[in-house]
Amino acid sequence: MFLQQVLNGITQGGTYALVALGYTLIFGVLEIINMAHGEIFMIGAMTGYFFVTKLGWGLVPGLAAGMVGAALAGAVLEFTALRALRRKGVTNLAPLISTIGLSLVLQNTMVRAIGGEPRSFRVPLGNGMLHFGPLMITTAQAVVLLISVVLMLALQWTLSKTKLGRAVRAVSENPETASLLGVNVSGVVLATVMLASGLGGAAGVLVGISYVSVSAVMGLSYGLKGLAVIILGGLGNVKGAVAGGLLIGILEALTVAYGGPTGAAYKDAVAFGFLFLILVLRPQGLFGQSSAATRRS
């Protein structure tokens, strides 16, 4: 029973981790919290929904479409809300507000276009159950978990082995030096924002699959969860984001299972309550370096 709840938590936590990776990539390069990330996640889910249910595409092409849609939304974000603010003398409050502005625009445009009510998102995966000894997992859950893991490994490979990944790490370390060494900084920033958004979009499609529904207002709660996860894992820390996402997923599943009659009601407070506790005891997050939180920003 306990292990079963942990497994459920890991499936849920995998999608949290994907959302959090998007935040953490952008923070690593730009030192900005992208408040529009939740809405980009929603755009990805909606694009996937459109291609799968309206055009009859399969799961993997639909997922790819969702990622491309979200990445394009990321490009819009870079050109409208971020690029113009990237000059000297702008406080870090300004990008926070402008990305909130963009999230209002994205969410309400979508609500205007298709309405706010949830839509059923069915992917033909069958209703099968996979059994591993005493543990069981639905086919949909297994597919979601598998895809999350593949995407995380792909990201890890991109960051550590490719030329783009090296450039991203260089810009994240020091943009001026990277620029002097011939890295096209604005190109790398655009690529990072699109990559981060694409991951967010994939998370959107996966959440749509596991809950069998998508809506124009689904971005907010996942955006908030993602925020809790990255702070927990340490800002700009890729491994921390994955660990934080899994941890919060498991904690939520355990709260629902063992929290008694009110457990389910307090599920949404778990992420932030736990985060609050961690921050008070360990301000840099679970996996952050000691200077991250105390650094002036």
Partner 1 sequence: MAELLNNYYLQIFTFIGINALLSLSVYLVLSTGQLTLGNAGFLSLGAFTTALLATKAGWPWWINIPLGGLAAAVVAVGLGFATLRLRGIYLAIATLGFTETIRVLWVNLPYTGGSLGIRNIPNINKLFQRFIQTQFDEAPLGLSFSQLANLTVMLGVWLVVTLTLLFIIRQGKSRVGRAYTAIRTDEVAAGAMGVDVVHYKVLAFAQGAFLAGVAGGLTAHTTFAIAPADFAFNKAVEMLTYVVVGGSGVAFGPVLGATALIFMSESLRDLRILGERMSDYRLIIYGVLMMVIMVIRPQGILTPGLFKFRGPAVPSDEQAGVRKERRVRRKGVPS
Rule CB under 8 A: which residues touch partner 1? 33, 35, 80-81, 84-85, 89-98, 100-105, 107-109, 112, 220, 224, 227-228, 231, 235, 262, 265-266, 268-269, 272-273, 275-276, 279-280, 283, 285, 293-297
Residues 6+ apart with CB under 8 A from 138: 127, 128, 129, 130
CB of 98 to partner 1, least distance (A): 4
β-pairing, 135-138 with 119-120? unpaired
Residue 59 C-alpha from the chain's centroid: 19
Element spanning 121, H or E: none
The residue (of 121 and 274) whose beta carbon lies closer to partner 1 is 274
Q: Which residues pair with 130 in a beta bridge?
A: 137
CB of 101 to partner 1, least distance (A): 3
CB of 254 to partner 1, least distance (A): 17
The residue (of 97 and 153) whose beta carbon lies closer to partner 1 is 97
The residue (of 11 and 107) whose beta carbon lies closer to partner 1 is 107
The residue (of 33 and 164) whose beta carbon lies closer to partner 1 is 33
CB count in 10 Å sphere of residue 253:
22
The residue (of 57 and 266) whose beta carbon lies closer to partner 1 is 266
Cβ atoms of 140 and 125 closer than 8 Å:
yes
CB of 275 to partner 1, least distance (A): 5
Cβ atoms of 216 and 114 closer than 8 Å:
yes
CB of 59 to partner 1, least distance (A): 32
Element spanning 136, H or E: strand 135-138
